[in-house]
């Protein structure tokens, strides 16, 4: 979207946010659904449980 095409064109705050300003980028190469499932659930759950202190 062009800066001139939104309702608040010219307002520097709205112009800055046009199209978003953040990006999420993988830190590891994921080539398919199997690898993606390891990187996320349940892979995340397993690593979180491992790093959590045990209760006495």
What does the pLDDT look like over 3-50, one tens digit per residue? 567 888 899 888 888 888 788 888 888 899 888 877 776 656 666 676
pLDDT of residue 46: 65
- Specify if 56 maps to a domain: no
For residue 41 the two structure tokens come to 């659930």
- Specify if 17 maps to a domain: yes
Domain count, the chain: 1
Say what the pTM is: 0.35
- Specify if 47 maps to a domain: yes
Q: How far lies 10's CA from each of 4, 6, 15, 36, in Å?
A: 7, 9, 7, 41
Domain housing 37: 3-51
pLDDT of residue 43: 59
Per 3-state DSSP, what percentage of the chain is helix, strand, and coil (rounded to 5)? 45, 0, 55
- Specify if 14 maps to a domain: yes
- Specify if 33 maps to a domain: yes
């Amino acid at each position: 979207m062009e800066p001139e095409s939104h309702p608040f064109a010219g307002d520097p705050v709205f112009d800055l946010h046009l199209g978003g300003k953040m990006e999420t980028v993988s830190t590891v190469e994921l080539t398919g659904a199997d690898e993606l499932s390891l990187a996320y659930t349940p892979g995340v759950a397993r690593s979180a449980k491992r790093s959590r202190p045990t209760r006495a």
